[in-house]
Structures are given as C-alpha cells and as structure tokens.
Amino acid sequence: MSDVPTMGQEDVSPAASSTPPAPAGHGGRSADWPGWAACALAAAGFVACLLVWLGGGASSSWPWMPSLDLHLSFSLDGLGALYALLATGIGVLVFAYGTAYLPLHLAHDRRPASERWRFWPWLALFAVAMVGLATAQDLVLVFLFFDVTAICSYFLIGFDRNRQEAHRAALMALLVTVVSAVALLIAAVLLYAEYGTFSIPQLVQRVDSGTTMTVAAALLAVAGLAKSAQVPLHFWLPRAMAAPTPVSAYLHSAAMVAAGVLVLGRVHPLLARSDVVLTGLLVVGTASIVVGGVLALGQDVLKQVLAYSTISQYGYVVVLYGIGGPTASGAAAFYVLAHGVAKSALFMTAGAVTMATGQDRLSRLGGLGRRSTLLAAAAAVAAANLAGLPLTAGFFKDELFFQAAHGAGAVTTVIAVLAAGLTLGYIGRFWVLLFLGRPRTEPSPVPRLLTVPITVLAVVSVLAGVVPRLFATLAADAGSVSNAAPVDVSPAYHLDARPANLMALSAWVLGALLLALPRLTQPGSLGLARAGDRFGPQRGYARLLRFSFRLSGALHDREVRDLRSSVAAILVPAGLLIALAFAVTPTVGVYTVGTVAGTGWLVVALLGLVVVAAWVTARSGARLGMVLALSVVGFALAGVYALVSAPDVALVSVVVETMLTLVFLAALARLPREAPPAGRSSPAAGSDGPAADDPTAEAARRGHRWRTPLAAWLAGLASFAGIWGFLSEPAETPGLAEELIRRTPEAHGQDVVTVTITDFRGLDTLAEITVLLIAVAGVATLVRKGKLW
C-alpha cells in the first residue's frame, strides 16, 4: 500500500529530459484526429443521452436467448442517465485533454505517433461499454459489459508496454476485477435457478428474503466492491496509476471505478433484502474511507494521493448504500456526480503539472500558483469541490451524506465527520504543496488544452454549487432506481444549527488540524503503509499468483509428457467433476431400470458389441486392428439408431463412420512400418512413452499399468452415470425437435436431418467442416514430412 518509487514516472515531461518538446502542432486537431474523433463520439453520446433523459427516458428489449429468458434489455432510466452522462460528459473533456497530452507523452518516450491507435480505440470502446453497463437491465448483460470494461482497462493501463510496472499493474487490475466479476455471474445463475429470470426489474419484483437471496446479494456486492477498489480488494488501484494521465482521469473518476458503485446502485433493491449484506457494505465502506484517507495523507507522488483518495471517496458511496433508504440513495447518486467532476479535474491537474515541470512528487514541487494562475485557480475549485466547501457542488454532496449518516445513528455520524475531515486534510495538502510556498522548479508553458478542460469542470462545480438543482434532479431520478421508490433530493444552504451544518463545521475543523499539523499525521500514514506492504492483501495476491504460476507449470509439464497424460488431463478432471456433482446432488429416483422387450434385445446385443469393440480398440497393438475395431463401434451405434426409429441419423452415422475409417486407413498407410530409433523418440515429438534404453522406462511402464486403467475407469464410470441419469430423468423443458419438423417444409426439404444440418445449422456445419479440413491438412503435412515421430 505504500508509495512505489517508480510509480507516476510515466508523466515525466519533455521539459525535464533531453528529448525536445513536441511541436505545438502535436496538440492540434490535425495531429491527433483519432482523439478528436473519440471526443466527437463522446459529445454525440452526451447530447443523445441528455435529450433522451429530458424526454422522459427510453427502454428497449430484444430476445437474445428466449429459452433462457435472456434479452438485450436496455433502459435509460435515472441511474442509467446519471452514469451515461457522467461517462460521456467527462469523456469529452478528458479526450480533448488527451489530444494534447498523448503526443507529448509519446514524444518523451521516443515512440512513434502511430501508437495512438493502441490508445484511442480502447478508450472509445470503454466509453461505449460504460454506457452499455449503465443502461443494461439484464444480469448477464451487466456481466458482459463489466468484463469489457476490465479488458479495455488492461490495455489502457498497460499502454506503456516498455515499462514493467505498467504491465504488472494492468495484469493486477485485470485479475482482481475479472476474477471478482465471476461472483456476479454466479449470483445471476443462483437467482435464475430460484426465480427463473435474469431481468433485474423482474427480480426486484419476485425476490424474497432467504438464504439464496443473501448468498446472491453477497456475491453481487463482492463484484461491485472489487471494481470500486474497496478494502481489502483496493490494492490494484494505486498500481493502476502507471497508466497515462488521461486514462487515470477517466477510468478512475467517471468510468471503471464508478462501474462498481453503478452495479451496487442497480442491484441495491436486491441487496436491501439482506441485512447482513447491508451491514457488510457499512463495514467495508468505513474501512475504505479510513484506509484510503490515512494513506492519502502520507503519499508523495501526485497520482498516488488521488488514487488513495478515490478509494476513500467511493467508500462514502458504499456507506450510503449500506445505510439504505431514500435519503441515502439520493445522496449516493449526488455524491457520484460531484466526485466525478472534481476527481477528473484533479487528475488532469496532476498531469498538466508533471508535463510542465518534469516532476511528479509533492516534495519536489511548490509555488506553481505564481506562474500558472489559471491552473491553480481551477485546481483550487476542484479541490474545494472534493472537500465539500461552500459554493461548490461538493458542499451539497457532504450535506446529503451528513443527513443520511445522522439519520442512521451516532456511529455513522462519527464516521461521516471523520471521512469529511480526512478529505479536507489530504486534498488541502495536495493543493497547498503544489501551488503555494517556495518555487522549486521552473515550469514550461502548459498547452491550452491541458488547462481548458480543468477550467470547464471548475465552472461546472461552481454552477452546481450555486444552482444545486442542476445535479439534484438527476440524482433524485437515479436514487429512485436504487431505492425502488421515489426519492426527493433538495439540497439548499441553511444558516442554522441543524445537525448537517454542525457536522460540516466539525469536519472542517478536523481537516484544518490535519492540514496544519502534518508531523502528527505523517507517522501514522507511513506506518499504515508499511504494515500494508508487509501484511496486507497485496502480499497475499503476490503469493497466490506465484503459486498459480508454479501449479500451472507443473500441470503443463505433466500434461505434455505423453499422449496418455494429455488425454488424462481432460478425462480425469471431467470425471472428478461429475463425481462431485453425484455426491452433492440427490439421486433418489434418478437412476431407474426399465424392462427389455422386442427389439430392445437387439439394442442390448449391439451395445454389447460396442463394448467388446471398444475393449479391442484399447488393447490392440496392431494399427489395422485398432481402426477396424473402432469402425465396429461406429457401425454398431448406427444400428442402434436404426432400431430406435432414427433412420436418418443412422444413415448419417454410417456415412461418417465410413469416411473416418477410410481417413484413418489412408493416414496409417503413410506412417513408417517400423518404430523410430530410440534417439528420435521424445515426449515433445508425440511418443507414447519413454525410450527403451531409458533407465526410467521400466518404472514408467509400471506406473502406466495402474494409472491408465484408473483414469479410464474414472472417466468411463462418470460418463455412464451422467448418461444414465439423463436418460432416466430427461429435462421437462420442450425441445426444438417439433419446431424443426414443422419448419422443414419452409426450407424446401423433406429430410429433417439434412435440412437441420444445411439450413438451420448451416453456419455451425460450415465451421465444423472448416475445422476438419484444417486438421486433415495439418496431419497430412506432418505425415508427409515425417514429423509425427
């Protein structure tokens, strides 16, 4: 959790190195038209979302997989509008900022301008995915967009691929967010199994309190908390600051990290069914506020201060969702808006300062307010917004937070005051050390596009602080979705001694003390950072990752040892999974034994022949004998199909088995008649065992004598149990057979099997044929060149 010396160095400016500054044109429209195209896309999305929301919202749904009740359902309701407008609106400004920043960044690293194509498409796709996630109304859709944002963030955080820390940070962010997202998918399956739908609005209407709901709610919460970098899964976010500043300004203020609390807000009516989950949100949110805030007080790297601030700030939102109710739901929505505006401006401030000075540490900076007055003023408004000072939107985010916390009891009241005091302390320290005091560097001129977006966000902060209805109406609509009932958000200035005002005054006093007495806070912050490095979750992540690599390597070495190991690597785990399912699933009445009569005796005889032929195939040492015995298996099964009134399938099976037999014979005819010399035999070449002169050959053969039959029996019994259970108790859901039969004449055919293969499943069949042709070509090439040995 401590500051990493190499972190944040990606922002070193050309002004501080031997690399000459990029030409001024590099920041222009002609120099980075992919960036301006992404900016135009975000602007169009913002206007479209705003118009649709002002028009009362919109929704649409298209069948996706009707058999699973999956639909492509989207709705621009209040919550969707809030996050879509935040993602696109902040996106316009950050993308414009990036058109000036990225050319300088690439020029400093002496990288070609063509690498912009590795940056802008991913950032634009992230914006689209964020809008999709904000409007998705189906849990499976939410999971898909959730993972798309994780994949985009991997490539964006790791954009500087020549830096090892960027690669590691990208991998860490991907693993933590994607693995935790599996919890969301498991929760969706649990809810579908219990209530028969993936639709979030339908689930809100159907779910009841109970064990299943509690487990599903906990899994949903874990996915959201990991994405929002909440304790103890917070350690990936500070490392992600290895990304270029536009990525940090967008992903970690209005997009990726916001996606976690977006999901919490979307499914909050489900989470509210479990008091245990709400209590867990309170605990995690409080821990995140304290840990993030205390660590931010001691950070030196600019973006690290803001990273830990983000952990703490989203802890506010998690606490509000833990409190629940209309007041807290409205406050959470307003808080997300105000925080996104403030934090993106502060990240861009950090990038502009670093570009101008070549420094990214507070201890090496200071006095910039005299030389960059506009930047200092805009950053001051953004910092005041985050700290909750009057005349900014942040004042009302804190007021609403204080109201919800005070209504929940004395403990949450104290937590709220502590949280606001910490915020004022670390963000005040950030601004003071940057812009006040003695100048330590001589900054170069800051490109206009690096300051204009920050100024625009500062103006928005003040406008929302003077006219809070600009944010309040949208926050009320969003809070109504999370609360599953109407919410009223009416922030206003009140000059009286109400609890919210007293809490604000207490927080400002605490923040001023933290700012005025840094020597009292630094030891605690640094001590917590050292303890986190030594005992924190990041250490456990590193150990788990090393163990996974070793385990994967060991399994890979065993799997590729020979053909038996490769086959066993598939069959044995499958058998173990079926055995586990058999052990935990009730089997009463599942395995039934019927009577045999009439043609059934012929079926039994043919199945007996299949068993004998399979045994001969496994035991035969002659190539021709194996091929012929294997063909007997296929032809016998074709006879079974014919006896159970499936002549079409039987005919297709005969054709397939005949073709495969001829292919096998043709391939075997090309193989050498004698075994290769011992020196050419190796596991990598595909040999079935060790060489004859290998001193360990006899031991390996003795091992195969019991391992091979064990694996075969395990896989065979598992398959037998699975097939028997399915045939004894087939699924009651209607199949597609009747529909395919009914539609066969429409395809101008009379043979159902042929029409299904060529028409209904034409693309699948084409893909299967293509795979077979590629495999045949590959095998033929290996045989012709003698590579099979």
pLDDT for residue 26? 41
H/E stretch holding 60 reads strand 59-65
pLDDT for residue 19? 38
pLDDT for residue 544? 86
Which of 60-64, 151-155, 243-247, 375-379 shows the lowest per-residue confidence on average (mean pLDDT)? Answer: 60-64
Region 346-361 average pLDDT: 93
The span from the CA of 97 to the CA of 11, in Å, is 14
Region 772-776 average pLDDT: 85
Dihedral (CA of 11, 17, 19, 22) sign = positive
Neighbours of 262 (CB within 10 A): 29
In the predicted model, is pLDDT for residue 777 greater than 50? yes
Tokens 């060790």 sit on residue: 690
pLDDT for residue 122? 95
Please list the alpha-helical segments (H only) found in 620-682. 623-643, 647-669
Q: With contact defined as beta carbons under 8 Å apart, do 71 and 63 qualify? A: yes
Region 730-738 average pLDDT: 67
Q: What phi-psi label fits residue 484: left (phi over 0), alpha (psi between -120 and 50 degrees) or beta?
A: left
In the predicted model, is pLDDT for residue 442 greater than 50? yes
| pLDDT tens, residue by residue, 466-484 | 999 989 999 999 999 999 9
In the predicted model, is pLDDT for residue 1 greater than 70? no
Q: What angle do CA 310, 313, 315 make, to 5 degrees?
A: 110
More confident residue, 714 or 704: 714
In the predicted model, is pLDDT for residue 167 greater than 80? yes
pLDDT for residue 688? 45
Structure tokens belonging to residue 18:
């031997």
Structure tokens belonging to residue 713:
């029996």
The span from the CA of 549 to the CA of 750, in Å, is 55
In the predicted model, is pLDDT for residue 687 greater than 80? no
Region 681-707 average pLDDT: 53
The span from the CA of 351 to the CA of 587, in Å, is 63
pLDDT for residue 580? 85
Which of 66-70, 494-498, 692-696, 707-711 shows the lowest per-residue confidence on average (mean pLDDT)? Answer: 692-696
Per-residue pLDDT band for 433 (boundaries 50, 70, 90) equals very high
Q: With contact defined as beta carbons under 8 Å apart, do 576 and 585 qualify? A: no
pLDDT for residue 28? 40
Structure tokens belonging to residue 36:
């301006």
H/E stretch holding 220 reads helix 211-227
pLDDT for residue 69? 80
Region 248-265 average pLDDT: 90
Per-residue pLDDT band for 71 (boundaries 50, 70, 90) equals confident
pLDDT for residue 95? 95
Dihedral (CA of 164, 170, 173, 176) sign = negative
H/E stretch holding 70 reads strand 70-75
In the predicted model, is pLDDT for residue 11 greater than 70? no
Structure letter (DSSP) for residue 121? H
pLDDT for residue 660? 86
Cα 763 from chain centroid (whole Å): 30
Q: What's the chain's average pLDDT?
A: 85
Domain boundaries along the sequence of the chain: 31-273, 295-525, 734-789
pLDDT for residue 684? 41
The span from the CA of 219 to the CA of 201, in Å, is 18
**Amino acid, res. 542:** A
Per-residue pLDDT band for 563 (boundaries 50, 70, 90) equals low
Region 213-224 average pLDDT: 95
In the predicted model, is pLDDT for residue 700 greater than 70? no
Region 434-449 average pLDDT: 87
Region 542-557 average pLDDT: 83
Region 628-649 average pLDDT: 84
Q: What phi-psi label fits residue 494: left (phi over 0), alpha (psi between -120 and 50 degrees) or beta?
A: beta
| pLDDT tens, residue by residue, 640-650 | 888 887 787 88
Per-residue pLDDT band for 527 (boundaries 50, 70, 90) equals confident
Neighbours of 265 (CB within 10 A): 29
Region 207-211 average pLDDT: 88
The span from the CA of 119 to the CA of 102, in Å, is 9
Rounded alpha-carbon distances, angstroms, from residue 178 to 198, 227, 419, 470, 557 = 20, 9, 29, 35, 27
| pLDDT tens, residue by residue, 79-92 | 999 999 999 999 99
Helices (H) and strands (E) in the chain, counts: 30, 2
The span from the CA of 513 to the CA of 698, in Å, is 78
In the predicted model, is pLDDT for residue 685 greater than 50? no
The span from the CA of 532 to the CA of 528, in Å, is 6
Region 375-380 average pLDDT: 95
| pLDDT tens, residue by residue, 171-204 | 999 999 998 899 999 999 999 999 989 999 999 9
Per-residue pLDDT band for 16 (boundaries 50, 70, 90) equals very low
Per-residue pLDDT band for 450 (boundaries 50, 70, 90) equals very high
pLDDT for residue 676? 57
| pLDDT tens, residue by residue, 295-337 | 999 899 999 999 999 999 999 999 999 999 999 999 999 999 9
In the predicted model, is pLDDT for residue 206 greater than 50? yes
Q: With contact defined as beta carbons under 8 Å apart, do 437 and 528 qualify? A: no
Structure tokens belonging to residue 693:
């002169």
pLDDT for residue 686? 43
In the predicted model, is pLDDT for residue 125 greater than 60? yes
